[in-house]
Structure 1
Amino acid sequence: MKNFKTFAIALFLAVGTLSATAQNKAIDTKKSSIKWVGKKLTGSHSGTVSFKSGTLAFKGGKLNGGTFTVDMTSIAVTDLEAGKGKEKLEGHLKNDDFFATDKFGTAKLDIKTVQAKANGVYGVTADLTIKGKTAPVSFDLTVAKNTATTKFNIDRTKFDVKYGSKSFFEGLGDNVINDEFEVEVALVF
């Protein structure tokens, strides 16, 4: 009986220690945001897309993982007004030329490795899946209290988004669209 009590106390302490050191924090999808900027030779467009869900994983108070799902059907253009091209561009971004949101309604990012760089700054490598295609992305993520922020570029052609790309089409002239687009992410958890 004495050994059983000792084992039970040790197990309780071990579980308590594990739960204190490993913690998943769900993001607030309403307060978190993704802003994007796509550039072309003759200008740029900007907009937003919303999170469907997301979790950051911490161990011992330090970031060690995470996974996020983005609602691709929420793509919105913010630099154009309604009736002045906004709806047309949003429709084009959602069709097969770009993100095919009727077939691929979500995108996903899974953090694979995390390297502490400085106080609250982590070098992150993740698998990003868009249109059913997965490719690695790397970025710095700054974590402070209940927020995390990053800004990085995504090469859309790695995800079969080739419309207007000079890497795949010749003779586009002024209609070339940059292969990379920029995302700025603000997480609240």
Structure 2
Amino acid sequence: MKRLTVILVAFATVTTMNAQKKDIKKDDSQVQWKGYKVTGSHEGTIAIQSGNLVFDGETLTGGSFVMDMTTIGSTDLSGEYKGKLDGHLKSDDFFGVEKYPTSQLVFTDVKATGKNSYEVTGDLTIKSTTHPVTFTMSVYGSKATANLKVDRSKYDVRYGSSSFFDNLQDKVIYDEFDIIADLQF
């Protein structure tokens, strides 16, 4: 039994040694969000504080990201309206960035679904609340793209949500929002 354990430990060590962590180039990467409401939508960006993807050879096997929530901002508005929306998104009504300045995504499972494409499951933490998310990711050379749908109601982001409030009518902001990440490493 001891010999089998030593062989398994040695195999695990060899497998781990082949893993290569590649840091995300923050200045060359972009994370966009798009939120929807009954009367339209808004979109914007969030900056990556840090991140990496892990590979075994050319195969994606893991990754993690920390997002700087203090940078959340709209790109579809300007002037006074942009300032109001950006401030509201940073307030406790939405992401409470003073208390929760970062969000985090840690990959827990990566499955190849084709050449250069993956189904990734990870633990997403927003406002100190963690839930699993599953999304698609494509990797080409030193670039990767990912598309996520996030249900904000799971993270106690309640403002304008019909999951928490009645009679909002045309003031409803839908719970799901999109994240599109274009990454370079």
On whether the aligned pair clears a TM of 0.5, the verdict is yes
Task: Call closer, same or farther: CA 1:130–1:16 in 2, change over 3 Å.
Answer: closer
Q: Equivalent residues in 2 for 1:82-101 (5 A)?
A: 82-83=79-80, 85-101=81-97
Task: Call closer, same or farther: CA 1:102–1:17 in 2, change over 3 Å.
Answer: closer
**1:186 to 2:169 alignment:** no
**1:112 to 2:114 alignment:** no
Q: Deviations over 1:44-64 (max 9, x none)?
A: 101000000001001132111
**1:177 to 2:173 alignment:** yes
Q: Equivalent residues in 2 for 1:132-143 (5 A)?
A: 132-143=128-139
**1:72 to 2:69 alignment:** yes
Distance (whole Å) between structure 1 residues aligned to residue 46 and residue 180 of structure 2: 11
Q: Deviations over 1:73-132 (max 9, x none)?
A: 00111000123x000000000000000000000000000000011001011000000000
What RMSD over aligned residues (CA atoms) do the two structures have, in Å?
A: 1.6
TM-score (norm 2): 0.90
> 1:34 maps to what in 2?
31
Q: Over alpha carbons, which structure has the higher Rg?
A: 1
> 2:3 maps to what in 1?
none
Identity %: 47
Q: Which segments of structure 1 move beyond 4 Å, counting only runs of 4 or more?
A: 15-19
**1:22 to 2:19 alignment:** yes
1:22 to partner: Cα distance:
1.4
Does the residue aligned with 1:158 lie in a helix, a strand or coil? helix
* Counterpart AA for 2:156: D
TM-score (norm 1): 0.89
Distance (whole Å) between structure 2 residues aligned to residue 59 and residue 17 of structure 1: 8
Q: Deviations over 1:12-39 (max 9, x none)?
A: xxx99964x2100000011111101101
Does the residue aligned with 2:26 lie in a helix, a strand or coil? coil
> 2:5 maps to what in 1?
none
Query: Number of paired residues?
Result: 174
> 2:125 maps to what in 1?
129
Q: Which runs of 5+ in 1 are unaligned?
A: 1-14
> 2:142 maps to what in 1?
146
